[in-house]
Amino acid sequence: MTHTVRVRTGARLHFGLWAINAPAGRRFGGVGMMIAEPGVELTARRVERDRIDACSADVAARVAQYLHRLRAIRPDIPPVALYVPVMIASHQGLGSGTQLALATAATVLNVAGEAQFDAAAWAHQLGRAERSSIGVHGFELGGFLIESGQRPGDRIGELIGRAAVCEDWQIALIAPPQTVGLSGAAELSAFQQLPPMSEATTAALCRMAVDDWLPAMARGDFATAARTMWEYGQLAGEYFRAVQGGVFASPRMAQLARQLHTEGVTGIAQTSWGPTIAVLCADHIQADALRAQLAADSAWNDLSVRITRGLNAGAEITIDAQG
């Protein structure tokens, strides 16, 4: 009996770390959310010789690297056929690397006979979650997530808060064309250049996340959630101004955010290094109106606009048995 394992996971939004280059205590931490689209779809099955088919050569190469690292730890992994028809765009602030790594590990290890998948352990083994752990917790649980950061010796940051995202709420993902956020060596260099985040900034970000944002998400209080999203993003982004050029990495996204905020749209924040900004909308009517507004304006009609929703469950893993 052989079987095919399928994994479907969403993307990760990250609204800012809250403890960076601190001389002591926890490091990183922060707030994020899983969204239903874009996402990663990956299937694996046992074959006689490895084969990787993906939506792009870059994705295929990344999957091959993860497979190589998995085999270095688990030499018993058999030859597998891996197929990745759907993938999150890289370097847009959507956590593509962690979701692809975990989807690869979950499918391949299941084919190898490991029914229970420990996302935290394998994320560490695959070199993910070195700073943010939101994507790992999101892969397992979905929802709106707060993690407290890493202590010395921790594999990933501890999850300290989770709430479901209101089913009516929509998220508009807006990004400029042909622009990417920091990654790899450039990202590492940026962190090294930053001074320690002040205790006052860390305390303010923690307070906003735990005292205001999390309870608002839990009770479906859109006004408070949207206002806190803006305030958190502004304070977190101000700290990164020195390495990303402003509160927002993209000057165009900064201009759009200011315009929308002036028009009364409050739930706006950059995700990770950007360039994507996320706009929290109360329902599909507001989201559709925002998309139509941007499409009708020559200043913005070249922007990528995707409407999605919160993802309140972990990665979907299905197994099809074959005789």
pTM score, whole prediction: 0.93
Burial label for 250, CB within 10 Å (0-12, 13-18, 19+), is buried
- Report whether pLDDT(92) > 50: yes
Q: What's the DSSP call for residue 212?
A: I
- Report whether pLDDT(323) > 50: no
Binning pLDDT at 50, 70 and 90, where does residue 26 land? Answer: confident
The closest of 226, 278, 288, 201 to 12, measured between CA atoms, is 278
- Report whether pLDDT(281) > 80: yes
Q: Which residues pair with 28 in a beta bridge?
A: 19
Residue 178's pLDDT is 87
Q: What's the DSSP call for residue 208?
A: I
Residue 189's pLDDT is 84
Q: Are strands 2-14 and 51-54 parallel, antiparallel or unpaired?
A: unpaired
Binning pLDDT at 50, 70 and 90, where does residue 262 land? Answer: very high
Residue 210's pLDDT is 96
Which tokens is 291 given?
């998309």
Full strand arrangement of the beta sheet holding 277-281:
268-270, 277-281, 170-175, 304-308
- Report whether pLDDT(268) > 70: yes
CATH number of 2-165+311-322: 3.30.230.10
Which tokens is 117 given?
């998948």
Which tokens is 46 given?
């046992």
Binning pLDDT at 50, 70 and 90, where does residue 156 land? Answer: confident
Burial label for 142, CB within 10 Å (0-12, 13-18, 19+), is buried
The CATH fold of domain 170-308: Alpha-Beta Plaits (3.30.70)
Residue carrying structure tokens 């109360």: 282
253 Cβ contact list (under 8 Å, min separation 6): 174, 175, 176, 270, 274, 275, 276, 277
Enclosing H/E stretch for 269:
strand 268-270
Q: Are strands 304-308 and 268-270 parallel, antiparallel or unpaired?
A: unpaired
- Report whether pLDDT(1) > 70: no
Summarize pLDDT for 215-246 with one digit per residue, the tens. 999 999 999 999 999 999 999 999 999 889 89
The closest of 135, 63, 140, 87 to 71, measured between CA atoms, is 63
Summarize pLDDT for 98-143 with one digit per residue, the tens. 999 999 999 999 999 888 899 988 998 898 867 789 999 999 999 9
Summarize pLDDT for 307-321 with one digit per residue, the tens. 999 999 999 999 987
Arithmetic mean of pLDDT, 167-173: 98
The percent of the chain in helix, strand and coil, each rounded to the nearest 5, is 40, 25, 35
Cβ atoms of 111 and 78 closer than 8 Å? yes
List the domain boundaries for the chain.
Answer: 2-165+311-322, 170-308
2-165+311-322 and 170-308, same CATH topology = no
Angle at 301 between CA 299 and CA 304, to 5 degrees: 125
